[in-house]
Structure formats: structure tokens, C-alpha cells
Amino acid sequence: MNAIQRWWQRRLATDKFVLALPGIAITLLVLALHVANVGAVRQLGNLLFDEYNRQLPRPFQDAAVRIVDIDDTTITRQGQWPWPRTDVARLSKALTDAGAAAIAFDIVFSEPDRTSPSRIAAVLARNPLAKGNFENVTRLADHDAILAATFAASPAIPGFFLIREPNRLDPPEKSGVAIAGSDPGAALPTFAGTIPPIPELAAAAPGSGFVSIVGDNDGIIRRAPLLARIHGRIVPSLSLEALRVAQGAGAIIVKSTDASGELGGGDIGVAQIKVGAFEVPTTAAGELWMHYTAPRPDRIVPAWKIMEGKLPPAEMKRLFGGHIIFIGTGASGLRDLVATPIRDRELGVVVHAQAVEQMILGAFIVRPDWAPGVERLALLLFGIGLSLLLPRLGAARGALLAALALAAAITGSWYLFAKASLLVDPMVPALGVVAAYTAVTLFTFYREEKARNYIHRAFDRYLSPELVDRIARDPGQLELGGEERDMTVMFCDVRRFSALSERLKPNEIIGFLIEFLTPMTDILLGRKATIDKYIGDAILAFWNAPLDDPAHPENAARGALAMVAELAKLNDPATQKPGSLWPGAVKIGIGLNCGPCCVGNMGSSQRLSYSLIGDTVNLASRIEGLTKYYGVTIAIGNALAQRLPGFALLELDQVRVVGRDTPERLFALLGDESVADGDAFAAFRDHHAALITAYRHQDWDAADAVLAAWAGPAAGFGLTALGQLYADRIAHFRLAPPGADWDGVYQAVEK
């Protein structure tokens, strides 16, 4: 009892740290999720940033950006869409004459105008009721040609779509993209195809940009893409191209993260885009974090007012002179609606326009390269700190501390957003605080309840009442269950024991088992094994518990080899004692495996035993069962084989054992270092490796050839049955080839 009390006192000293472990573990889990950029964790920060944008929208400043909206009134007054290209040309010319610096169409002119005279004439010619040959109609100017001429004389930027379906339609290339640093193309959104304007219009316009904007998983547009990758090229967005054309700038300069002087490291991405006189900080994917204004009706001019000349020249010049103009379709049935943090239903053209406003005004919100590091540091400080303090503070005071930590994280993040336009996500440390508090509190409660039940159902059966009372007063420090250890496990079984039992009387069976189990147990105990149990004729033993055994793989291997050698002596009639009940030539199968196991006092409240469980144990049992199939005495798993570099090992097969999805490489243990260093084994090992290689490459002729030379040495190592097994498999696969996708794994059908 004194030893139990000493153990209990040692455990009391470390128990508060044990109580903190769930909080520390879940904090590290949140850290791993953040490092892996898991969408659910990222989404929490996105939702909070949305709230920041709603509470503190960007103050509107006139940045010389206007939207011309083809709204419902315009459609009513000017006719249904699509208009004849002559009407589009008229609108574009009116804006050019007013002095527009750039005219960006959030419209894709991907098909020829069906109202062009030549097309109308062709339609009329097919109508039997139409009169005339319509030659005078076909001589009229083509509408697309008229619009192309207008584009050539104006700062027009037609849009194009980016699509995921592959095609070879390339968008027009109007400006080069120069890269400072390494190519960030892999970080950019990549598309397989485009829907561009018709070549006539694309060639005439001085610019072209993509209009496609894809939101986050929830559909909200928080970042506007400025660059994309298509067919190996980097192409600009409509907003970025509008800013370039308005300045008459040349190439767009993309500065990569490895040329930016930033400290983020990691994969190469975009850090900054320079277009003319403007420098734009971006995400690694070339996106602009959007800081939306509240809705501003004065940003938008209905198209019908321009088309019908309702605006005097002076007003046209005031509204559009020197401005970047975006033309979009806001009419019902035509509108491109997106969700933003400010509005659930916003015109897509407004996103393009606001992106240009931010670039012109320099009104950026930035997620700095150091933000993830600060978030992770705060997560570790808050999560681990709270986990360590909670067992000492208790649930109530711990809740107050958690609330203070949450308030500090969110307040700091809001301050950085409001004062410096920086995005630092407080939800990651906040999630760590909540998760750590919940985990530690629940684990403490569970531990206390489990301890009380355990005490009353188990400990009072074999501890003094005084010690039970002492434990009951502080059950939170009681550690139940087992511990995880790296262990080696052995299953040993007598072959054909049922057949042997038929020939022996019950008392003779017991005598035989005593003769067999006694020397085997002596060998195992001499090799520092713990005997878990005897299951009839079988032995379950393990190493490295309860006492540490750093050399447990070698001790297990040597113990198994010694058992085989001892069995040979027991089978020798010359060594058997008079009156021995030994039933003749006995064979055994031994399965060995190593890896993590849970070991400790297990069982019920009525009876406990020191035992172990885990996948390592289950696999060792399956390996022992496979010794019969492969005709070997000792088979071991791959993890153990890797830790026995000096032993005589041969790979048997790759097997998917019953009840386990992951295949396992099995090895035969044929001897210790003295066998492994012998010339005979070295030569045989090379032959065997050639056999395995040829077999897995489905080179049946080569495998048969190796088998022919392999058979003689194999018999010396007791592997004749293994050779026959591979010969049978090869013969089968010649008749029924396994296919090109065969992985060489054998599916075991028996335990």
C-alpha cells in the first residue's frame, strides 16, 4: 500500500498539467487548422470583417469614376437588349466626346450583331413573302465595323469572360505584364478558357479586361481579382485595365512576394501591382481587399439620359470629362447581381467601379504578411495560457479570464481596422480561447465523475478504506485507463493444435501445454517480455511495459528465434525425458509487430488485468495467422523490420489483412546477425529481391526464371512453401492478368 500511496502523491503533483492537456491539444488543433487555411476557420474571420465593413464603410470621395447604367427605364425608352451596335457606338462616342478617360464595358460582345444590314438582308432573302433583292441593304455599313471604328477612336475597354471549360480562345492582349521577382502565376486564379469579344472589336479597342468575379464559398465578394492566368498568360481585370487605359500607361508591373521585401516567406505570390502612377497592394492571388462605401446613387447615371441628349454638353463634361466610365446592365433580366458585405444584391459593375476608386484614392485595407504570425502567436498565448490557468482558477474565474481574452482580441483587431485599415483576424485566438475553455472544463468534469465512479466500483475492492477515502476527497487527480507506449507485441500459436488434441486425453493435453509453455515462458521472461496471457496453446506477450526496454525490438526478435531453437530441441526424441507427453513434431507460428499501444489496467470493476490494446496488437495477431499461409515460422510487420537492420529478413508480401484497409509489408525473420552476415543468405536475399521485383512488375517470365534458381537455397531456409505459393500465383496471373492498375497487394481472406 505504501508504494500505491507514493505513486498517488507523484500523480497529484502533475495532475493540473494533465487537466490542461485537452485545452493545449485543442489549441494546437486550431493552430493546425489555421496553418492549413481550412475554410471553416477562415470563414469566421471573413464574417467578422464583413461586420467591420458594415460598421465602418469607406467614406465616399469622388475619384472621377462613374457608372453608366442600362437600367429598366433605358430599356423601355431605347428598346430591348441587345441593342444594335450602332446604339452602343453612339453611347461610346457621346462619352468620348465628353472627354472620358476610359470607357470600360462590363459587357461581352462575343457574337456578331444580328441587326447588321447584311444579316438582315440574308434573313429577308430567306422569307418568301419579302420582295426585292435587298442589294441596297447589304451595301450599308456593318454595325460591328461601325462600333469597331468608334472603339478605335475612343478609350474603350470591352470585357471578356473567364470560364473553367477549356477552349483555345485567347483574350486580346493590349498591354504587357512585367514581373519583378519570381513568376507568381501559380498563385493566381487559373482558368481553362475565355469568351472574348469578336475579333473585329477586340482588335480595335485600346484595352480589354476580364469581367468575371468569383466570391468566397458563401458567395460574398470580399476581394476583387485584378489578375488571372489563362493559357499561360497573365491577364488584367476590367478595373485594372481601365486604370491603365485612363493613364495611357504601358505595361502592368507585378511585384512578387520574393521581390517585395516582405517577411511572409512561403510560396511565391503577388505582393503589389503597379499601373502607371498607382501602386496597389494585393493578396498573394493578385486580389484587392474591398472596402465598400455605402450605396451612392450619384455614382450612377442612367444610359437613356445620354442616348437621348438630356444632359447638356457642360453637364456631360462635368459628369464624364477625365473620368473612368463603367457601362453595365442593371435592367431586370440583364443585371449581374453579386453579394457584398454591404449589400446582398449589388450590381457587379459597382464592384469594378469601387475597385478603381480604391486604387485611385489609395484607400486600401490590407491583410499584412505578418498577420497570420500574430494571430497564431495570440492563439498560442491565449489558448495554452488559459488551459494552464483554468485548473487553478476554476470554471467561474476561468470564464472571466476567457471573456477578457476574447475582448482583447476583438478590440485589438477593430482598432487596427479603424485606425490603420489593417485586417488581423481575432477569430483565430478567440476560437482557441473558447475551445480551450470548453475542453478543459468538460475534461475536468468528466474526470471527476469518472474518478468517483471508479473509486466506488473498483478501488475499495483492493485498497484500504483509509486510502479510498483519501482518493475520494480529491478524485480529480486520479488518472484512469492506460498509457500509450511504443511496444513490440508477439502472438505465438501451436499449429494444428486441434488435431493434436484429438489424439490426447485431457490430462495429456495439459501435460503437453506445461512442457511447451514452461520453456517458452522462460525464454520470453529472460528477454524482458511481459506475459499478457495464455489463450489455450497460444501466448500473447509484449515488451517495453511496464518497465522501459529501449531495445525491445531486438529482444523480441531474439526471443522469437530462441523459441524456434528451443522447439527444435523439444521435438528431438533424443532430448525428451522419460514419460514425456510430447506428441511428436510440433510446429508453431509467431507473429511480431511494433508500434504504439495502449497498456494498463483493463477489465471490469470485478476484475482488472494489466494488458494492452491497439492496432499494433491486432496486426500482430493477423501476422501470426498468416504464417501458415506463407509457410514460415516467424513473420513480422514492416515497422518492426525497419528497426532490425542487422537481422536476416526477407520480404514476404504486401498484404491487406482482414479488418484493416492499409496494406502491410510482411517479412520473414530467418535469423540474427550471424545468419544475415553469411554469404549464403546474402546471395539468397538478392535472388529473393529479384523475384519480388519481377512479380510486382508482372514480369512472369523473369519471376519464373528467378524461382527456378531460388528453389534450392529456399529449401535451406525453410521457404519451400513460399516458393510454391509464388509459383501458383504466377501461373494464375498468366491466365488471368491482374491489370495495369494492380498494386501487388494480396487481400487476406482469413484471420
Question: Is the CB of residue 489 less than 8 Å from the CB of residue 614?
Answer: no
Percent of all residues in the chain with a pLDDT value above 90, rounded to a whole number? 54
What's the mean pLDDT when you consider all of the chain? 87
Q: What is the mean pLDDT of residues 248-270?
A: 77
- Give the residue from 83, 86, 63, 84 showing the smallest Cα distance to 75: 83
pLDDT at 676: 94
Question: Is the CB of residue 709 less than 8 Å from the CB of residue 703?
Answer: no
pLDDT digits (tens, 9 = 90+) for 321-357: 999 999 999 888 887 888 999 998 889 999 999 999 9
Contacts of 277 (CB under 8 A, 6+ apart): 247, 249
Residue 463 scores a pLDDT above 80? no
DSSP β-bridge partners for residue 613? 598
Q: Is the peptide bond before 546 cis (omega within 30 degrees of 0)?
A: yes
Contacts of 530 (CB under 8 A, 6+ apart): 541, 542, 543, 545, 546, 610
Residue 271 scores a pLDDT above 70? yes
Each domain of the chain, given as residue ranges in start order, spans 2-53+367-435, 65-172+188-216+241-246+290-361, 483-677
pLDDT at 480: 42
Residue 379 scores a pLDDT above 90? no
Residue 468 scores a pLDDT above 50? no
Joined grid coordinates for residue 486:
511504443
Contacts of 135 (CB under 8 A, 6+ apart): 121
Instruction: Using pLDDT thresholds of 50, 70 and 90, give the confidence band for residue 264.
Output: very low
Residue 13 scores a pLDDT above 80? no
CATH architecture group of domain 483-677: 2-Layer Sandwich (3.30)
Percent of all residues in the chain with a pLDDT value above 70, rounded to a whole number? 91
**Distance, first Cα to last Cα, the chain:** 43
- Give the residue from 438, 387, 396 showing the smallest Cα distance to 19: 387
Q: What is the mean pLDDT of residues 378-397?
A: 84
Q: What is the pTM of this model?
A: 0.57
Q: What is the mean pLDDT of residues 31-35?
A: 86
Please return the burial class of 116, using the count of CB atoms within 10 Å of its CB with bins 0-12, 13-18 and 19+: buried
pLDDT at 655: 95
Residue 184 to residue 182: CA distance in whole angstroms: 6
pLDDT at 15: 66
Instruction: Say which amino acid occupies 1.
Output: M
Residues in the chain: 751
Residue 528 to residue 733: CA distance in whole angstroms: 45
Q: What is the mean pLDDT of residues 134-163?
A: 89
pLDDT at 254: 94
Contacts of 612 (CB under 8 A, 6+ apart): 482, 487, 489, 532, 542, 545, 597, 598, 599, 600
Distance of CA 15 to the CA centre of its chain: 35
pLDDT digits (tens, 9 = 90+) for 168-195: 888 888 888 999 988 888 899 999 999 9
Residue 462 scores a pLDDT above 50? no
Residue 479 scores a pLDDT above 60? no
Residue 4 scores a pLDDT above 60? no
Angle at 749 between CA 746 and CA 751, to 5 degrees: 110
3-state SS assignment for residue 140: coil
Residue 712 to residue 689: CA distance in whole angstroms: 16
pLDDT digits (tens, 9 = 90+) for 676-724: 999 999 999 999 999 999 999 999 999 999 998 888 888 889 999 999 9
Give 461's DSSP letter.
G
Instruction: Using pLDDT thresholds of 50, 70 and 90, give the confidence band for residue 12.
Output: very low
